[in-house]
Amino acid sequence: MRATVSPAGTAPVWETARGPVTLERPRIVGILNVTPDSFWDGGRHGGLDAAVGHAAVLIEQGADAIDVGGESTRPGAQPVPVAEELARVLPVVRELARRWPGVIISVDTVKAEVARAALAEGAAVVNDVSGLRLDPRLGEVAADAGAGVVLMHSRGSVEEMASYDLARYGADPVGEIVDELAGALGRAAAAGLPPSAIVLDPGLGFSKRTEHSVAVIAQLDRILALGRPVLVGPSRKRFVGELAGGLPPAERLEGTIAACVVALQRGARLFRVHDVLAVRRALTVAEALLSSP
Ligand code: HH2
């Protein structure tokens, strides 16, 4: 299969509240969960100092953006009230934006109120794992701030979206996912978000069994046909462990890298990962090999 790499000068651009992100090279979004219960980094970056320290490491390792999350989507995770999510996320967003004005700060939330406050503190992007399904005001909040938005595919509430319960598809799972992402694009347009602000994400592991995550990576061209850049988030997820024969999260780095490299080859341009250094090195080499004539 040919690599999907834009010729020089025509790289797609993602508009954010802190200016455009050009996608002539793969962009890495480092994960910074300030939660007690995220499946991999939960409880590790709870205090402000720990969170800022980890962000410094991710940026040093080559993260182009930092995605700050205050609510886990792990199956069985407790829903987080707005006030608690604000208390977790806002001090971190404020400090990161102050220290690293050149780094894109993203807030991983499905709540318009959290998005509004984070954008006011310097976040440039809202990463909505519900694709504008769960809070109808979130799109308008992002549009008013001129923010970039990641629209991820999922089904159901925050508590159920990462389980297999809603992973019920007919003969063409990727077709259903594309249709549902098209619905998210429609909600974005109705909220006043310009297409240039939008990145699409198939939501690996969200409302998807392993075979569904495999299918969306294999058929990423069908997501790209919706006309926006694609972000993928395979980092240490269950489907990676299952494909490797049943490995726990601590042993899923190599599989994560494999998923990122294949997604790059199929046209993804943004990669949301925990392990920035390893993934950046792998993608830099893969990009050089894929873009050589
Ligand atoms: N995955 C997770 C959370 N947010 N956002 C996007 N756009 N894409 C993803 O694939 C994605 C996401 C789940 O991973 P993580 O943040 O590590 O875990 P948790 O939900 O337990 O905090």
Q: pLDDT (tens digit, 9 = 90+) per residue, 213-269? A: 999 999 999 999 999 999 999 999 999 999 999 999 999 999 999 999 999 999 999
Who contacts 26 (Cβ-Cβ below 8 Å, separation ≥6)? Answer: 264, 268, 269, 270, 271, 283, 284, 287
Mutate to test the pocket of ligand 1, among 44, 126, 129 (most ligand atoms within 8 A of CB): 129
Residue pair 267/221 in contact (Cβ under 8 Å)? The answer is yes
> What residue type is assigned to position 236 of the chain?
R
| Ligand 1 atom nearest residue 127's Cα | 7
Question: Pick from 205, 262, 231: which is nearest to 29 by CA?
Answer: 231
For the annotated catalytic residues, the residue numbers are 237, 272
For residue 4, pLDDT over 60 is answered with no
| Ligand 1 atom nearest residue 71's Cα | 22
Q: Please, what are the domains in the chain? A: 25-291 (3.20.20.20)
The DSSP annotation for 112-133 comes to HHHHHHHHHTT--EEEETTTTS
**What are the tokens at 147?**
């923010």
Residue pair 8/141 in contact (Cβ under 8 Å)? The answer is no
Pocket-forming residues, ligand 1, beta carbon under 6 Å: 31, 33, 35, 38-40, 69, 72-74, 108, 127, 129, 150, 152, 201, 203-204, 231, 233, 235, 272
pLDDT tens column, 173-223: 999 999 999 999 999 999 999 999 999 999 999 999 999 999 999 999 999
